[in-house]
Structure 1
Amino acid sequence: MKRGKGMKFVGDSRISAERKPNIPKDYSEYPGKTEAFWPDFLLKEWLVGAVFLIGFLCLTAAHPVPLERIADPTDAGYIPLPDWYFLFLYQLIKYTYASGPYNIIGVAVIPGLAFGALLLAPFLDRGPERRASKRPFATGFMLLGIAATFYLTWESVVTHDWAAAEQQGKIVEQPDVEIDQEAEGYQVYAAQSCINCHGENLEGGPAAPPLVNLDLTPEEIITIAHDGIGTMPPGQYDGSDEDLQKLAEFIASLKSEE
């Protein structure tokens, strides 16, 4: 080959003698490696989507969603649990410096820094390398984020009292007892802390039994209100004796109709 063939000398630089347009290659130059968008590509996408949809429907049919009882805003003892994809945040706010007086750190500062760091991802590693081993910063931050998410999620799952949670949300058939919320005894009940544990309709909750169909006399109910019983501490009632008498008689009268 003759030296400099196909090249033109312009000063100290060399440029190609043939001008080639800077146009990317057409897909037709890769025979056997392309396919028509319609119907070949779309058909495969739809088939894959159909498989996942059928699998999801089978899972929902085999394992129905565990419904809980109707939400009761008066039940102060109920502890809600977020969905699985928020469990790592739920676990985070349990730690000392992310809860209580530092709650803003756990619910806003730390998640804000973590998710805000995603905006900096393009600037942390601007190299052309595609191998994970040659991108230490990007790979390290990714692995750190994944490890933290998995660890916090796992800790939340293993430390949660699932048996107690099941009892909290258990659907209990309500006794056929008519509750007169206009009665004087109910007004006393609603004004006391009793309603927080025993519920608006005296149906009970995770921390307290129902107050209907009790085989107790008004005097026994008064004694329990003063002295407590089981997990109920003494001194919960702080009203007058007259109102307590009305409350005790009201509770004792709540019987199912035969």
Structure 2
Amino acid sequence: MKKGKGMKFVGDSRIKADSEPFIPKDYSEYPGRTEAFWPNFLLKEWLVGAVFLVGFLCLTIAHPSPLEGLADPTSSTYIPLPDWYFLFLYQLLKYNYASGPFVLFGILILPGLAFGGLLLAPFLDKGPGRRPPQRPIAVAMMILALAACSWLTYESVAHVDWEARAEANKPIPPGEKVEINTDDPGYEVFKNSCASCHGAELEGGGAAPSLIGIEQTPEEIADIAKNGIGSMPPGVFKGSDQELKQLVDFIASVNGEAK
């Protein structure tokens, strides 16, 4: 028999008192600790993590990220963007004080100070309490970091038309890839006027969409070539009317084969 706190009674001395299942210690006398880390607290952490993981997987299944076309090193119009969790740094480098001659300040000093401050937060605020009002320094630094990352990410996303970008850069399905007749007189016109943006095989690239599988009529193609559309400014095509007709006939013939 043990006296005092946690008293145990054993009826038979041949039976060990510690043969019972694991029972966490009573932490009521320890300030700031109300339960055992293993298995109580850790099990709760695992359950919360599993819920978020399942929710994230469901989100990726319901809204998969759009695929883009193959990388084309010859295209100078493609504007690469980082993954969503680095968009706040991408937006930071757009400001004058973090770009150009101050780019070193934007890529090293500012992020270094921000992440270094978060690492030092537990050492700057050593209060014994666990509630936010009892940890003012650590809580303020975390709120400031979350607000800055959220705002910079929003500013970066708000100025990008993601659907149009995905549509312009989507990969060409194998069934729509056709052989290009390079002997067609319209191909020479296309190569001199349009290939730098739309690709040598009309596959598109960057801000310029693919010209394979389009639904525009020859008249609409001619109008777009002269007057532009969307991000394509007017006056890009500077050829003669005969060259314009050759260009339109060439694009129409390619799409006739694609269908």
Normalised to the residue count of structure 2, the TM-score between the two structures is 0.55
| Aligned equivalent of 1:88 | 88
Deviation, structure 1 residue 197: 0.3
Say if 1:179 and 1:254, in contact at 8 Å, map to a contact too.
no
Using a 3 Å threshold, how does the CA distance of structure 1 residues 96 and 182 change in structure 2: closer, same or farther? farther
Structure 1 spans left out of the alignment, 5+ residues = 1-26, 238-243
How far did residue 196 of structure 1 move?
Answer: 3.1
Amino acid at match of 2:180: I
One-letter amino acid matched to 1:104: L
Q: Distance in 2 between matches of 1:176 and 1:163?
A: 22
Determine if contact 1:78/1:168 at 8 Å carries over to the other structure.
no
Query: Do the aligned partners of 2:204 and 2:211 also contact (CA within 8 Å) in 1?
Result: yes
Residue of structure 1 equivalent to 2:26 = 30
Task: Give per-residue Cα distances to partners, 1:195-219, cap 9 Å, x unaligned.
Answer: 3301131233433663899969xxx
Residue 161 (structure 1) aligns with:
161
Q: 1:48 to 1:209 in 2, by over 3 A?
A: closer
After TM superposition, the structure 1 = structure 2 runs for residues 1-258 of structure 1, keeping only pairs within 5 Å, are 30=26, 54-61=54-61, 63-73=62-72, 74-173=74-173, 175=176, 177-179=178-180, 194-205=194-205, 206-207=207-208, 210=211, 229-230=227-228, 231=232, 255=254, 256-257=256-257
Is residue 72–residue 199 contact of structure 1 (8 Å, CA) maintained in 2? Answer: no
Q: Is the 8 A contact 2:184 2:250 kept in 1?
A: no
TM-score, with normalisation over the residues of structure 1?
0.56
Q: 1:43 to 1:136 in 2, by over 3 A?
A: closer
> 1:55-96, CA deviations, whole angstroms, 9 ceiling, x for partnerless residues?
4544444x1413323233244333333333222222212222
Secondary structure of the residue that 1:71 maps to in structure 2?
A: coil
Equivalents in 2 of 1:178, 1:163: separation in Å?
28
Structure 2: tracts of 5 or more residues without a match: 1-22, 29-33
Following the alignment from structure 1 to structure 2, what is the Cα–Cα distance between the partners of residues 236 and 165?
Answer: 23
Q: CA RMSD in A?
A: 5.0
Task: Kindly provide the CA deviation profile for residues 129-158 of structure 1, in whole angstroms up to 9, marking residues without a partner as x.
Answer: 544334443332222212212222222233
Q: CA deviation at 1:183?
A: 10
Give the Cα separation in 2 of the matches to 1:57 and 1:252. 41
Percent of counterpart pairs with the same letter? Answer: 46
